Amino acid sequence: MTKRKEQYNEATFLTVSHEIRIRFNETDPLGIVWHGNYITYFEDGREAFGRQHGLTYLDIGNTGYTTPIVKSKCEHKLSLRYGDVVTIETTVVDTPAAKMIYRFKIIDAKGETACTGETVQVFLDKEGNLMLTNPPFYEEWKRKVGLLK
């Protein structure tokens, strides 16, 4: 079986790091982060990315589009616990397709990778129609940050 070649490239020069502290309500009775909360941490990373690069949900909404998540992937490497301080690294993936792909790495205080993941979001217009090409605001954003010439 042949492995498919990576079609898109991470725009590592746009990576945003965001630090959080694990809260008590995010853990199970053993004090370990409940697995479902990692998706919330990815959301924290996307929000931090959007604030730094002018691509928040409010920015997108003001253009008349929404970007629902259609796919998420999460791979757990190490357990996180109540009180841990971790860094969420969020990187956008440069793709010509009409979607936004984010990759995440959650790093513990020792510098070890605790979790990796990815989310894929598509563009819907005001009527909820799927966009088959990138909306003008996204093309403009990609030019502004150096992903398009």
Distance, in Å, from the CA atom of 83 to the CA atom of 147, rounded to the nearest integer, reads 37
Convert the pLDDT of each residue in 75-85 to its tens digit.
Answer: 999 999 999 99
- pLDDT tier, 9 (very low <50, low <70, confident <90, very high otherwise): confident
In 3D, which of 22, 27, 16 has the Cα closest to residue 52?
Answer: 16
- pLDDT tier, 10 (very low <50, low <70, confident <90, very high otherwise): confident
In 3D, which of 101, 102, 100 has the Cα closest to residue 134?
Answer: 100
Distance, in Å, from the CA atom of 80 to the CA atom of 77, rounded to the nearest integer, reads 10
Is 70 exceeded by the pLDDT of residue 3? no
> b/e map of 2-27 (b: 16 or more CB within 10 Å)?
eeeeeeeeebeebbbebebebeeebb
- Residues of the chain above pLDDT 90, percent: 91
Top CATH class of 10-144 equals: alpha beta
Convert the pLDDT of each residue in 36-87 to its tens digit.
Answer: 999 999 999 999 999 999 999 999 999 999 999 999 999 999 999 999 999 9
- Report residue 137 as tokens: 């605001």
Domain ranges of the chain: 10-144
